[in-house]
Amino acid sequence: MTAERVRVGLEGRAYDIVVGKDVLAGAGREIAALTKSRRAFVVTDENVARRHLERLRAPLGEAGIESAVAILPPGEATKSFAMLEHLTGLMLDAELERGDFVIALGGGVIGDLAGFAAGILKRGIDYVQIPTTLLAQVDSSVGGKTAIDVAQGKNLIGLFHQPRLVLADTGVLDSLPPREMRAGYAEVLKYGLIEDAAFAEWVAANAQAILTKPGSERREAIVACCRMKARVVEADEREAGRRALLNLGHTFAHGIEAAAGYSGRVLHGEAVSVGCGLAFELSERLGLCEAGTAAQVRGWYAAAGLPARLSDLPDLGATPEEFITHMAQDKKAQAGQIVFVLARGIGKAFIARDVDAQIVEHMLTEALSDRPNSKAKA
Ligand SMILES: NC(=O)c1ccc[n+]([C@@H]2O[C@H](COP(=O)([O-])OP(=O)(O)OC[C@H]3O[C@@H](n4cnc5c(N)ncnc54)[C@H](O)[C@@H]3O)[C@@H](O)[C@H]2O)c1
Ligand SMILES: [Zn+2]
């Protein structure tokens, strides 16, 4: 099947995102074209290594690229200072030099950690993203944000370090657990909700194909998301403005994830699904978009098997005030004001800095009282 290329046109640091089935087989050729070095350092996790590491190492070897490998434990806890120290130590032991490549083979956890490690090793060496989750293919592997988590919060220590290449193999997603696949789908639909109503409708109509088949619908969806993200990153690499639109649903999502203690009880994409529903509901309540828009959005998410309302999630035991406190700690909060992405309709999102916290609290109180025995009822 043919691969498609999307260019991220950053001056002096432009790179391609290659999307298609079996693009992994061309990894050696693609990487060899970027450097004279024939050494690479692959970072991956145990789940991905078991299924896909050899599918990468074989083509690297064929292109004459020798690769050292670090296989890390899977899960968010890997994005830690301790693991960063461990990983950079392994990279130094392998005598990685400028000109050599780090290759991040995995989901957003591996991409964020390996990209950060590459960004600080010897003041920065190049890296390639080979995202293996749908979320990483449409979001985290593109745009150069890298980070680890600390006690104070998620993604608070990190840097912008653009990859030199992104290889998104739509076939590797076949081994991804369906729940992780749906979580990535939440972000796919989000792109349409932000700026392209026709795309949102197309995604919703093709949800099953995107979720279950490595065919052209999945590739088209990933390519479209990468195009949108590339354009946003080109316009606003460091999130001074427009890039924040990509956070549609994310202020609420961060509140949900924090209330769940980042425990895996709620996946990021599941929180985004609920968060997008809440963002449209808030927009409706503020008279910004037509009645029924939030129901439309929630219907699309629910049809793909995602939680669409707070009451669809396990009981997180948080009060509306606690949610708001968590939301205010989001790093996008500015001068104490929570920043929301709201919408004037599907595909018409914008950034709002002056939302009345009382309206939000009122909405969350109602949303939480959907649930029997919730604290909000007391
Ligand atoms: N840098 C950014 O711009 C950005 C954007 C969004 C999210 N993120 C970060 O991404 C992370 C979440 O990424 P994620 O959802 O990819 O999670 P993840 O990396 O934890 O992967 C999810 C699970 O799937 C497994 N897995 C990965 N690929 C697989 C495959 N092909 N087959 C079978 N199992 C596979 C992993 O081992 C893991 O258990 C978060 O830390 C988040 O902060 C970063
Ligand atoms: Zn997200």
Q: Look at residue 1 in the predicted model and tell me its pLDDT.
A: 58
Q: Given pLDDT bands bounded at 50, 70 and 90, which one contains residue 376?
A: very low
Residues 145, 228 share a domain:
no
| pTM (two decimals) | 0.95
Q: Do residues 159 and 208 both lie within one domain? A: no
* Total count of residues recorded for the chain: 378
**Model confidence at 373: pLDDT above 70:** no
Residues 208 and 345 in one domain: yes
Q: DSSP state, 73?
A: P
**Side chain identity at residue 139, one-letter code:** D
Point out the ligand nearest to the CA of residue 214.
1
Q: Is the pLDDT of residue 210 over 50?
A: yes
Same domain, 17 and 158: yes
**Does the Cβ of 214 fall within 6 Å of ligand 1?**
no
Strands 126-131 and 101-106: parallel
> Are residues 101 and 19 both part of a single domain?
yes
**First CA to last CA distance, the chain:** 57
Give backbone dihedrals phi and psi of 23, rounded to 5 degrees, phi first: -65, -20
User: Distance between CA atoms of 163 and 119, rounded to whole angstroms?
Assistant: 10
Q: At CA 137, angle to CA 102 and CA 246, rounded to 5?
A: 110
* Boundaries of domain holding 109: 4-175
Position with higher pLDDT, 339 vs 26: 26
Pairing label, strands 39-45, 101-106? parallel
Can you give the pLDDT at residue 372?
A: 55
Among the three residues 123, 150, 175, which one is the final residue of a domain in this structure? Answer: 175
Residues 150-196 have pLDDT tens digits of: 988 889 999 999 999 999 999 999 999 999 999 999 999 999 999 99
218 to each of 15, 185, 291, how far by Cα in Å? 22, 10, 31
Q: Is 254 a catalytic residue?
A: yes
* Angular region, 291: left φ>0, alpha ψ -120 to 50, beta rest: beta
In this prediction, residue 261 has a pLDDT band, given cuts at 50, 70 and 90, of: confident
Last residue in a domain, options 127, 145, 175: 175
Chain center to CA of 188: 10
154 and 189 share one domain: no
Residue with tokens 């098997």: 305
Instruction: Kindly give, in sequence order, each residue whose CB lies less than 8 Å from that of residue 139, ignoring residues fewer than 6 positions away.
Output: 108, 184, 187, 225, 229, 246
Whether residue 335 is found in the same domain as residue 264:
yes
pLDDT at 263: 81
Residue type, 104: A
Please check whether residue 15 is in contact with residue 8, taking contact to mean a CB–CB distance below 8 angstroms: yes
Distance of CA 369 to the CA centre of its chain: 30
The whole-angstrom separation of Cα 330 and Cα 253 is 10
Cβ 126 under 6 angstroms from ligand 1 = no
The better pLDDT of the pair 107, 241 is held by: 107
186 & 260 share domain: yes
Instruction: Give the Cα separation of 141 and 304 in Å (integer).
Output: 23
| 247 assigned to active site | yes
Residues 196 and 295 in one domain: yes
Closest C-alpha to 358, from 311, 324, 328, 317? 324
Give the closest residue (by CA) to ligand 1 atom 10: 108
Calculate the CA dihedral of residues 279, 244, 149, 278 and round it to 10 degrees.
0
The count of domains in the chain is 2
For the stretch 78-103, pLDDT in tens is 999 999 999 999 999 999 998 999 99
The answer to whether residues 6 and 39 touch, using CB atoms and an 8 Å cutoff, is no
Average pLDDT (252-262) is 91
Is the shortest distance between the CB of 45 and ligand 1 below 6 Å? yes
Residue carrying structure tokens 């076949």: 174
Decide: 190 in ligand 1 pocket, CB within 6 A: no
